[in-house]
Chains A and B, each alone.
Chain A
Amino acid sequence: MTESSQTKNLLKDHVIIDKAIEPNAGWRDLPIGAVIPKGGTSRQFTTGDWRTIRPVWSPEKCIHCHRCWLYCPDMCWVSEDKKIQGVDLTNCKGCGICANVCPTKVHAIEMHPEDTKTEHTAGED
């Protein structure tokens, strides 16, 4: 028996596993030991509102080197089949690293003040 199947068999009804943690949950409704019973729940937390400048991507200039994808600390750049699809600004804090690491000669990313309306930034946004 593998550990995971074994663990599952041991689960008890009253142990809250997959229930979402409600912000106003009372103490009886929380998983024991402050465990977050699922991975990646910060998907529901948006850090994009920290931003004052935003990256604006020019797909026609992009050589898909993926330096932006790699060096973005907030995992904003979307890649599919080895091609950059755009930037998802949900969590983009506007640090400007992507624009800085984009090869100088290529210059496919520019940082613009947050209030300007620009195209090509959305990606999957």
Chain B
Amino acid sequence: MALQEKLTKTAALTGNEAAAQAMRQIHPDVVAAYPITPQTEIVQLYSTFVNDGIVHTEYVAVESEHSALSATIGAAAAGARSMTATSSNGLAYMWEMLYIAAGLRLPIVMPVVNRALSGPINIHCDHSDTMGARDAGWIQIYSENAQEMYDNLIQAVRIAENPDIMLPVMVTMDGFIISHGMENVELLPDRAVEEFIGEYRYPYALLDIENPRTIGPLTLQDFYFEHKRAQADAVVKAKTVILKVGEEYGQLTDRSYELIESYRMEDAEYALVVLGSTAGTAKYVIDELRQDGEKYGLVKIRVCRPFPAVRLGEVLSRVTAVGVMDRADSFSGEGGPIFAEVRAALYGVSHRPHCINYIYGLGGRDIGPDLIRSAALDIKSLKDGSESDSLVRYLGVRE
């Protein structure tokens, strides 16, 4: 432990640099990627590692994101640890392959830099890209800052490749806000990462030519359902594995991770639920409110797939009112994606708090302490029946 600390070094890095450093240490055999703002820096840095001979990775400079994930799938199935990275429309272009990577049970790890989906085109942060992909069968981990992006990527390899799981993982960070913001990031020694993640395992490697297998066959009415049922089971099992890996990582770094993070929730009467970088600002607001004697707390969802419904139910059932903040709209008229799921998670709890939705920050619209504070104060005024007046409230939009 002590030795470990000595070897750990701190560097001022952008989120993209932190992600690229994590990738360098994961040292995949193959990276196939296509540039897209705001992820571009990751692929630029990685190409430099390759061309400077720092890594033994084969870099496939594909002609599109669809091919990026297709090539990554081919490489992972061949028996090589493989990664790609993307953002926004790039993720949308991969859509078909997202489901296939998960259905084939390939343990691919992919950083996604969150950016609003077109149209109209916009290059800044919101979560419309990854939120839309939440039912693709990938594990989804959201990062609050560059340090978490780095930590999550390394843990993701262990989670993805766990023999009980064998699922792809996307690890996200907010575009520009984290990806281009500079922070002090603690990096593990290369050796520690190598030991932590271990060797790549995929039991049906195509390159194991003495044992020919058929990957990706046509499965019909008689088997498809069973394959999907097994896939669903792996997602559920991932909860335990994520917690175990998070704890082990904590022993290595003093930063342990869970499915959610509760902040000042012990005696909280009101709670905000957030994901990603907004959690940082929201914690600051909670502290201010606490100073004013207001009993506020915060729940940050780190893992969105598998969805930590039980944990959320436990933590939120003690409060009077919950404000769920969504950086994406589902255009359903019933709020954003996180709201719908949090609200569903609260259905089974004995004491059901008031629960409303704030949609905010679309297309990179700034979300400062004032806006978060206004939402926090807003939920305090909720009374029985008052949610239905306006269940979904847009925060920071010009009327």
Interface residue ranges, A against B (CB under 8 Å): 3-4, 6-8, 10-12, 14-15, 17, 23, 25-28, 30-40
Contact = CB atoms under 8 A, between A and B. Distances in A.
Contact of B222 (A15, A23, A36, A39): A23
B97 to A, nearest CB: 14
A103 B178 CA distance: 73
A7 B203 contact: yes
A36 B214 contact: yes
30 contacts: A3-B207, A4-B205, A4-B208, A4-B210, A6-B199, A7-B79, A7-B208, A7-B211, A10-B202, A11-B203, A14-B164, A25-B226, A26-B226, A27-B225, A27-B227, A28-B230, A30-B223, A31-B204, A32-B166, A32-B203, A32-B230, A33-B106, A33-B204, A33-B215, A34-B223, A35-B204, A35-B217, A39-B213, A39-B214, A40-B212
B104 A33 contact: yes
Contacts of A8: 208
A19 B210 CA distance: 17
B121 interface: no
A7 B222 contact: no
A31 B207 CA distance: 18
Contact of B216 (A11, A28, A34): A34
Contact of B227 (A3, A14, A33): A33
Given A3-B208, A4-B211, A33 B199 contact: no
Contact of B217 (A4, A6, A26, A36): A36
A12 B222 CA distance: 27
B211 A30 contact: no
Q: Which of B103, B219, B224, B226 has the most CB atoms of chain A within a 10 A radius of its CB?
A: B226
A27 B230 CA distance: 6
A14 B163 contact: yes
B222 A34 contact: no
Contacts of B225: 27
Given A3-B208, A4-B209, A38-B211, 11 more contacts: A6-B199, A7-B211, A12-B203, A28-B230, A31-B204, A32-B234, A33-B105, A35-B215, A36-B214, A39-B212, A40-B212
Of all A-B residue pairs in the complex, the 6 with the closest CB atoms, nearest first, are A33-B105, A39-B212, A27-B226, A36-B214, A27-B229, A10-B201
A15 B202 CA distance: 10
B233 interface: yes
B227 A34 contact: yes
Interface residues of B, number: 36
Nearest to A10: B201
A114 B346 CA distance: 67
B163 A30 contact: no
A27 B233 contact: yes
Contacts of B166: 32-33
Nearest to A23: B222
Q: Which of A11, A23, A27 has the most CB atoms of chain B within a 10 A radius of its CB?
A: A27
A3 B104 CA distance: 20
Given A4-B210, A34-B104, A10 B229 contact: no
A37 B205 CA distance: 10
Contacts of B208: 3-4, 7-8
Contacts of B207: 3-4
A86 to B, nearest CB: 28
Interface in B176-218: 199, 201-205, 207-217
Nearest to A40: B212
A7 B80 CA distance: 11
Contacts of A7: 79, 202-203, 205, 208, 211
Contacts of A28: 230
Contacts of B227: 27, 30, 33-34
A73 to B, nearest CB: 19
Nearest to A15: B203
A35 B214 contact: yes
A3 B79 contact: yes
Contact of A34 (B199, B210, B217, B233): B217
A15 B163 contact: yes
B136 to A, nearest CB: 15
